[in-house]
Amino acid sequence: MKTIKGPAIFLAQFIGDEAPFNSLESICAWAADLGYKGVQLPTLDSRFIDLKLAAESQTYADELKGKVQAAGLEITELSTHLQGQLVAVNPVYDTLFDGFAPEALRGNPHARQQWAVQQLEYAAKASRRLGLTAHVTFSGALLWPYLYPWPQRPAGLVEEGFAELGRRWQPILDKFDANGIDLCYELHAGEDLHDGISYERFLTEVNDHPRACLLYDPSHYVLQCLDYLEHIDIYHERIKMFHVKDAEFNPTGRQGVYGGYESWLNRAGRFRSLGDGQVDFKAIFSKMAQYDFPGWAVLEWECALKNSADGAREGAQFIKNHIIHVTDHAFDDFVASGSTEASNRKLLGL
């Protein structure tokens, strides 16, 4: 049995232009002071990581790791959520998602996709140089505008969408395999991979690729009314990363899952700071221990009500209190009577 590593924190929601959130060294010192042991790094802000250089230079990768270790922390994983989104974009979202790409590529979907694929390849190599074992991304989406079957979807539309998604991701997955890194998709609204069924469709298209793994984030399942505990039972062999994020779903006579186009503050389903939502984290951490989850418990903070400083401070202690330090012996060993093969056969009347 393994004890989950942590607490760690995903830095994406905290990076900013003011100290201590504007450099890797200062944000790591801030996180360490709060009690975190690791940081998960987004990869689009050059103040924190030059992804191409980390892929190409072991010296740079070692220096990057050294900056984090100087604060008493580890890099848990790298993230390419935004780049992964651009691997597959339905044209209806071209303008909105152009902001994730370099300015020179905006308005050119083909060049934008090529850039995104290259970013993922850099991430695979950089992760290897940093001594990591897993990486998180989004799948992107070709089919999301057709999520609800009205108007009726044309025959074969879903099948072709997933076939194309598989064609785009198969070579990327092979690059991650060549570098010894599990590529973990965060199942998330707005992505073609948003629940177990869509993930299984994708696995079929990539021939059950051994590197096509999962980041587990229960908050997204609460908002979908999905059984987030059984999800662990079903997919635990593929779950290699864990975002500890809370959420709540409070339907009314006026709105439910779709939210009526309301803001996050006024939606029936919304993300919350740890401990303020409805997620049963005691049960989740128990299942993670039961299934020997090999990775980190990483705070991802998103909340429509509480400020981020309090969310980060409370989150470190929350995760620390929920990590189960697994036992190294059975609780009833004290009454063990001892056995041999001969005595066991005698007890069986053999």
CA-based angle 307:282:73, to the nearest 5?
60
**Measured CA distances, 50 to 47, 126, 231 (Å):** 8, 10, 35
**Alpha carbon distance 88, 223 (integer Å):** 24
For 162-167, which contacts have Cβ atoms below 8 Å and span 24 or more sequence positions?
Answer: 162/192, 162/201, 162/202, 162/204, 162/205, 163/205, 164/88, 165/88, 165/139, 165/140, 165/192, 165/202, 165/205, 166/202, 166/204, 166/205, 166/206, 167/205
Two tokens, residue 306: 């509480």
Q: What domain range is 333 assigned to?
A: 5-347
Contact 279, 251 (CB under 8 A): no
With CA atoms as reference, report the closest residue to 306 among 269, 270, 281, 282. 270
Judge whether residue 25 has pLDDT over 80: yes
**Ramachandran category for residue 75: left, alpha or beta (phi over 0 → left; psi -120 to 50 → alpha):** beta
Quick one: pLDDT at residue 329?
79
Contact 320, 7 (CB under 8 A): yes
Quick one: pLDDT at residue 333?
75
Our count of domains for the chain comes to 1
Residue type, 204: T
**Rounded mean pLDDT, 69-74:** 98
Quick one: pLDDT at residue 17?
97
Using DSSP, state whether 77 is helix, strand or coil: strand
Q: How confident is the model at residue 330 (pLDDT cuts 50, 70, 90)?
A: confident
In 145-262, beta strands by DSSP E: 182-186, 212-216, 239-244, 246-249
Tokens 């999301």, residue located: 144
- pTM of structure: 0.96
Give residue-wise pLDDT tens across range 307-321.
999 999 999 999 999
Using DSSP, state whether 182 is helix, strand or coil: strand
Judge whether residue 47 has pLDDT over 90: yes
CATH of the domain at 102: 3.20.20.150
Give residue-wise pLDDT tens across range 91-140.
999 999 999 999 999 999 999 999 999 999 999 999 999 999 999 999 99
Quick one: pLDDT at residue 332?
75
Question: Which segment of 38-47, 136-145, 321-330 scores lowest on mean pLDDT?
Answer: 321-330
Quick one: pLDDT at residue 336?
77
